[in-house]
Structure 1
Amino acid sequence: MLSNILFQRIDNSQIIIFRIFFGLLMAVECWGSIGTGWVTETFVETKFSFTFIGFEWTRFLLGETMYYVYGFLGLMGIFIMLGAFYRITTVIFALGWSLVYFMQKEHYNNHYYLVMLIAWFMVFIPANRYKAVDVWLWPQIRSNYSYLWTRLIFILQLLIVYTFAALAKLYPGWMNGDFLMIRYRSVARWAHENIAWEPLTEMFRTREFAQVFSWLGFGFDLLIVPLLLWKRTRVFAFFAALFFHIFNSATLHIGIFPYFALALAIFCFPAESMRKLFFPRKTSFVPGSTEFQPRHKNQVFFSFVFSVYIIWQIYLPLRHWHIPGDVLWTEEGHRLSWRMMLRTKSATTQFFMVDKATGERNSVNLNEYMTGLQRNRVVTRPDMIWYFVQYLKKDQLKKGKEIEVYVHSRLSINRGPYHNYIDSSVDLADTKWEYFGHQDWILPEPEDYSKKEPIR
């Protein structure tokens, strides 16, 4: 039953349009990362990278090689946009983007993760059957239809992203405007320096302004996909999304994501409307046509894989509920969960090495190991703290020293008071990472992040 639904034939205009937008945006992202110095800061100037655990082997690429990697990925984006050698270029891009994604955590955000997922969608979706170089080279592949799953997977992924992004905002620091007040301070400074109209500057600084946009952000994430899918609200929802994403792009500086999200909104519109708007000369696909026969090979198996993928995507944002502690505090279950732009953290964190042979205790100078960005990130993220400790342990072992490492850390969320974060009595060099559970050396979260701890 499900397989028959997923393999219903539909007009393929949407996946063709999205292929063009996707390829162009990926080229802009990759080449822009070089032009803005992002690649230099993240991969060239660093001595080592905070890779995802298990991807330490990728460090051999660090250095100027990464300019060529990103330049090549940008070129693959252009090939995808043009539909040129589509099968091989989508595979290369998906593999390459996955590689650079797992190579570093300093700049982690859910947008890069979403791009990786979509890149792998494109590997399996036949988006080169129209307006593509491949059609010019191999005319026999030209087609005006696809299958329902090639549209449905984008809609479901978009629904999962926005729904869980909304649910993650249901905590006091977002709903009362604490986080956005901090973010909009830079907007207020920009308005003061460039517009010099004090009422506007003061408005950006107020809690009421931050609260309004906090609630609007929550409502937008929760409702935008259903409103885009409903015929009566679709046009209004699209213009609301246009304003929302352009405003966020201008004020929060979140890269290509606003435009990527707008491109994905194509799948919420009727295929025939998109065909008439973008490809008025393209032959319309009539459901039930016998011109092409649907493929039934592996249809049941594919439907099973499709279902497992969607269930997994729903599970990942929920997994933190079976891990002790607040994910806002522990970060356990934060990644791959669409918890986007929720909080700002700061910490005072010190690492101490103790020589097991002599008992000598020394403070670790992070400047000797990390860039400024890495120092800012490692002090607030438990997995990066543990990762760096393991790096220290191996580095000192090469010098003939066996060490213990202790961490003293106090953490603040959304500019609130500092609270004790890491158990300083635990030798982190002698701990293992609990991949699916809680790290016992992370101290319990405070009852209220905005209040100071009582003096004991």
Structure 2
Amino acid sequence: MQNQFLFRKIDNAQLVTFRIFYGLLISAECYGAIATGWVRRTLVEPKFTFSFIGFEWLQPLPGNGMYIYFAIMGTLGILITLGYKYRFNAFLFAFMWAGVYLMQKTSYNNHYYLLMLLAFIMAMLPASRDVSLDSKLNPGFRSKTMYNYIRWLIILQLFIVYTYASVAKLYGDWLDFSIIEILMRGKQDYWLIGDFLQLEWVHKIVAVFGILFDLLVVPALLWKPTRNIFLGLSIFFHLFNSIVFQIGIFPYLSLAFIVFFYDPKTIRKIFLRNKGAEITNEVVYPKNHKLLIGALSIYFVVQLILPLRHHTFSDDVLWTEEGHRMSWRMMLRSRSGNIRVKVVIKKTGQTNFVKLDDHLTKKQRRKVACYPDFTWQFAQYLKKEYARNGEDIEVYVVNHVKVNGSKYAEFIDPDVDLASVPWKHFSHNEWIRSSPGKE
């Protein structure tokens, strides 16, 4: 019964339409990253980038290399929209975007992670079987059907993202609206709406609506009586996020996903203007369909477990940041810190305080001051820099951090040499002080 549901043939209008939107949006994201200076600020100007730990070998290309890199990705987006050599171009984009994602985390965003997952998913789907150059150049390749599991693969991924985003908001600083006030404080200078965003009742509406929308949007879009209502709410919600938080293409990508919730005939009528397939509800099992089910099951088990891993650490994720990334914990906290970095040359005992401006951009300095993995990686960077001159060093830091509206508290043990301790991926790093509430 389950297999019959998954491998029933359905009209592929939703996937084909989404491919067109997806290609246009990633093209806009990549070209826009060049035009707005994001590539320059994030990948060209820094002396080095803070990659994901374990991917230090992934560093930006020298000179104008990263501009060319993003221009290629933007062009791949256009080719994906056109459906030209789709599989090759979609996989190439996926690997290139994954490279950008892993080589820098100074500008980390959950949406970048979602796009990486989506890029590999889309590369494996038959999204160019219709309304594409691939199908036009090879008529035998054209098809107006797809397996039902393809639609539900996208919907289940969205359900995981939205549900975890909603549950993560159920904590004190969101429920008392204080984090909303902090997030909106930086929007006071916005034209026309800046003062409006400072109103207390607006903060309450944003907080409650954020929880309920994330929790209900996928079920409500699946249920026909509430579908159009939540289409309207989705347009408002994502346009609000786009204007207020300026998070690139992702509000529009989220709107594009809605095509998977509407009847294929409606999608064809609005976007494709051609006839769909005659659907007979036939069930056709692909080769190795059991292997496919197994692979999808493993993927979704990982997606369900990964956002929960912070519960295996001994302290609050809001304080330690351990297990925060790749868990759909979006817009939950504001961190700030101050730091002094001391280098001790082992052979002579000479002590120097590091001038952060000599090594880091402004945004990198903010991260090093209050995110433990950045602080640890900076210590490793200094160790390598001094080693080039034949000097072995110890690195100590004195820093204080505050999360949301709390008071500053000591964050890292000042007596621990960060240049000599390993980074623990799967357990708590003891040199991170306990959160103030646990002391």
> If the length of structure 1 is used for normalisation, what is the TM-score?
0.93
Match in the other structure for 1:425? 415
Structure-2 residue corresponding to 1:297: 287
Match of 2:344?
354
**Secondary structure of 1:213's partner?**
helix
CA distance in structure 2 between the partners assigned to 1:303 and 1:158 by the alignment: 19
The CA deviation at 1:273 is 2.4
> 1:205 and 1:264, CA in 2 relative to 1: closer, same or farther beyond 3 A?
same
Name the CA distance, whole Å, in 1 between partners of 2:20 and 2:424.
42
1:27 Cα shift?
0.4
Q: Deviations over 1:2-24 (max 9, x none)?
A: 44432221110000000000000
Q: 1:274 to 1:69 in 2, by over 3 A?
A: same
Alpha-carbon distance, 1:202 to partner: 4.7
Alpha-carbon distance in 1 for matches of 2:372, 2:4 = 46
Q: 1:401 to 1:2 in 2, by over 3 A?
A: farther
**Aligned equivalent of 1:389, options 361, 379, 385:** 379
1:335 aligns to what? 325
Residue number in structure 2 paired with 1:318: 308
Question: CA–CA distance in 1 between the matches of 2:242 and 2:111?
Answer: 13
In the alignment, the residues of structure 2 paired with residue 408 and residue 384 of structure 1 have an alpha-carbon distance, to the nearest angstrom, of: 14
Q: In the aligned structure 2, how far is the partner of 1:129 from the partner of 1:253?
A: 34
Instruction: Tell me which residue corresponds to 2:406.
Output: 416
Please, which runs of 5 or more residues in structure 1 have no aligned partner? none
Q: Which amino acid aligns with 1:380?
A: C
> Are 1:227 and 2:220 an aligned pair?
yes
* Mean Cα deviation higher: 407-416 or 212-221: 407-416
Conserved in 2, the CA contact under 8 Å of 1:164 and 1:337?
yes
2:55 matched to 1:55?
yes
Opposite residue 246 of structure 2, the aligned amino acid is H
Secondary structure of 1:432's partner? Answer: coil
Q: Distance in 1 between matches of 2:11 and 2:242?
A: 32
Map of 1:151-190 to 2, 5 A cutoff?
151-190=151-190
Distance 1:2 1:405 in 2: 57
- Show the counterpart of 2:20: 20
1:272 aligns with: 265
Residues 436 and 2 of structure 1: CA distance in aligned 2, closer, same or farther (over 3 Å): farther
Report the Cα offset of residue 185 of structure 1: 2.5
Residue matched to 1:447: 437
- Using a 3 Å threshold, how does the CA distance of structure 1 residues 308 and 400 change in structure 2: closer, same or farther? same
How far off is 1:203 after superposition? 4.0
Rate the CA distance shift 1:201–1:23 in 2: closer, same or farther, 3 A: closer
Matches within 5 A, 1:32-431: 32-59=32-59, 61-191=61-191, 195=192, 202-288=195-281, 294-431=284-421
Q: Which amino acid aligns with 2:172?
A: P
- SS of 1:190's equivalent in the other structure is coil
Mapping of residues 2-21 of structure 1, within 5 Å: 2-21=2-21
**Pair 1:44–1:63, CA change in 2 (3 A):** farther
Conserved 8 A contact 1:23-1:79? yes
SS in structure 1 at match of 2:143: coil
Deviation per CA, 1:407-451: give whole Å up to 9, x if none: 111111124310111111111111011111111001111229xxx
Give, in whole Å, the separation in 1 of the partners of 2:320 and 2:160.
23
Q: Is the 8 A contact 2:130 2:144 kept in 1?
A: yes
Q: Any conservation in 2 of the 1:188–1:204 contact (CA below 8 Å)?
A: yes
- In the alignment, the residues of structure 2 paired with residue 71 and residue 285 of structure 1 have an alpha-carbon distance, to the nearest angstrom, of 41
Q: CA deviation at 1:60?
A: 5.5
Shift of 1:61: 1.5
Offset of 1:142 from its aligned partner? Answer: 0.6
1:132: Cα distance to partner? 0.1
Q: TM-score, normalised by structure 2?
A: 0.97
Q: What's the C-alpha RMSD, in Å, of the aligned pairs?
A: 1.6
The question of whether the paired residues in 2 share the 8 Å contact of 1:39 and 1:66 is answered with yes
Aligned length: 439
Question: Structure 2: which amino acid aligns with 1:97?
Answer: W
SS at 1:408 equivalent: strand
Deviations along 1:281-301, one digit per CA (max 9) or x if unpaired, are 223331335xxx835211100
Indicate conservation of the 8 Å contact 2:400/2:409, yes or no. Answer: yes
Are 2:9 and 2:279, in contact at CA under 8 Å, matched by a contact in 1?
no
Amino acid at match of 1:245: H
Distance 2:300 2:263 in 1: 23
Deviation at 1:271, TM superposition (A): 2.5
Counterpart contact for 1:410–1:420, Cα < 8 Å = yes
CA separation of 1:288 and 1:215: change in aligned 2, threshold 3 A:
closer
